């Protein structure tokens, strides 16, 4: 038998929860929008991504038919550099609040710490999604214009870069998602560590040192396994459009590995945020 009072209490609690999330989302969006570093870092990430892609497209040559280069991956090569700026932005979005003590105000306004973390993740994902889309589209447009001058022409087996091509569309969409997942990974690490320098060092180490360690390992089997679990190596497999079957891990499966890293970081962050004082 149902109890009207219990039903009303459940409905009220649900409304309060939704209200807290909405209030937290507005607050986190306001913080990101008004923070002086946010716009500059996003512009820097886009500029670096496009500039590195342009430089790579100009530097690599394809003088003969069947030169074996991946034109799409070349055009999107700047993602590997731009991700560092996105990671720094994500870390500062959290560490700045801890450094200033504003986190106490945030947790007083929204007592549910998981709600706060969810709102931070959603707001950050939204701005990175927008800037990442701009960076990827600009990189592909630049590649479409520059690569033919480097020999990537129909005569050499390369059609102009276009999102109507399935593998190119997958690489483009996957690159945007890659940046979002890097941001969420960095957000989780920063929330767990709470200190900017340590969090940035840890995230960049995961992204850039992991592949170096994999290359140093002498055993090919272990090297392959390390590449399969490396956040950057596995995640950027989504950009490959030439001979993807030769990769240590498939394109979408590789992006899934990065998603697991981000989920693990956010889960640890949520647990620590819930258990300890601000």
Rounded mean pLDDT, 116-120: 92
Model-level pTM? 0.90
Neighbours of 69 (CB within 10 A): 18
Segment 156-206, tens digit of pLDDT: 989 999 999 999 999 999 999 999 999 999 999 999 998 999 999 999 999
For residue 3, tell me if it sits in a domain. no
Per-residue confidence (pLDDT) for residue 196, from 0 to 100: 92
1 pLDDT band (50/70/90 cuts)? Answer: very low
For residue 51, tell me if it sits in a domain. yes
**Number of domains the chain contains:** 1
Supply the range of the domain harboring residue 235.
18-275
Neighbours of 160 (CB within 10 A): 14
Rounded mean pLDDT, 84-105: 87
For residue 43, tell me if it sits in a domain. yes
CA distance 90 to 37: 11
The encoded tokens of residue 178 equal 């890659």
The encoded tokens of residue 24 equal 């937290």
Rounded mean pLDDT, 132-143: 98
Per-residue confidence (pLDDT) for residue 275, from 0 to 100: 82
For residue 239, tell me if it sits in a domain. yes
Per-residue confidence (pLDDT) for residue 164, from 0 to 100: 95
CA angle 260, 265, 271 (to 5 degrees): 125
Segment 56-94, tens digit of pLDDT: 999 999 988 878 899 999 999 999 999 999 999 999 988
For residue 231, tell me if it sits in a domain. yes
Per-residue confidence (pLDDT) for residue 81, from 0 to 100: 97
10 pLDDT band (50/70/90 cuts)? Answer: very low
Average pLDDT, the chain: 89
Segment 226-247, tens digit of pLDDT: 999 999 999 999 999 999 888 9
Per-residue confidence (pLDDT) for residue 113, from 0 to 100: 85
């Amino acid at each position: 038998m149902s109890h009207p009072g219990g039903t009303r209490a459940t409905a009220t609690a649900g409304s309060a929860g939704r209200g807290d999330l909405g209030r937290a989302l507005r607050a986190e969006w306001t913080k990101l929008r008004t923070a002086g570093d946010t716009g500059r870092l996003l512009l820097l990430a886009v500029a670096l991504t496009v500039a590195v892609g342009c430089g790579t497209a100009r530097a690599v040559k394809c003088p003969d038919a069947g030169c074996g280069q991946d034109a799409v991956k070349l055009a999107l090569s700047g993602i590997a550099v731009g991700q560092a700026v996105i990671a720094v932005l994500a870390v500062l979005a959290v560490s700045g609040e801890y450094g200033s003590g504003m986190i106490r105000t945030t947790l007083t306004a929204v007592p549910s710490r998981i709600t706060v973390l969810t709102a931070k993740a959603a707001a950050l994902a939204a701005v990175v999604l927008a800037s990442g889309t701009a960076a990827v589209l600009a990189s592909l447009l630049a590649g479409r214009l520059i690569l033919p001058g480097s020999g990537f022409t129909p005569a050499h087996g390369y059609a102009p870069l276009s999102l109507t091509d399935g593998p190119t569309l997958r690489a483009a969409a996957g690159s945007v998602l890659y940046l979002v997942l890097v941001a969420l990974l960095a957000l989780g690490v920063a929330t767990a560590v709470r200190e900017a320098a340590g969090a940035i060092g840890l995230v960049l180490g995961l992204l850039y040192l992991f592949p170096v360690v994999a290359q140093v390992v002498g055993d090919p089997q272990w090297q392959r396994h390390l590449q399969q679990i490396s956040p950057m190596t596995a995640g950027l497999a989504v950009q490959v459009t030439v001979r993807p079957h030769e990769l240590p891990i498939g394109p979408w499966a590789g992006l899934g590995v990065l998603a697991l890293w981000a989920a693990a970081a956010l889960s640890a962050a949520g647990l620590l945020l819930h258990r300890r004082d601000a």
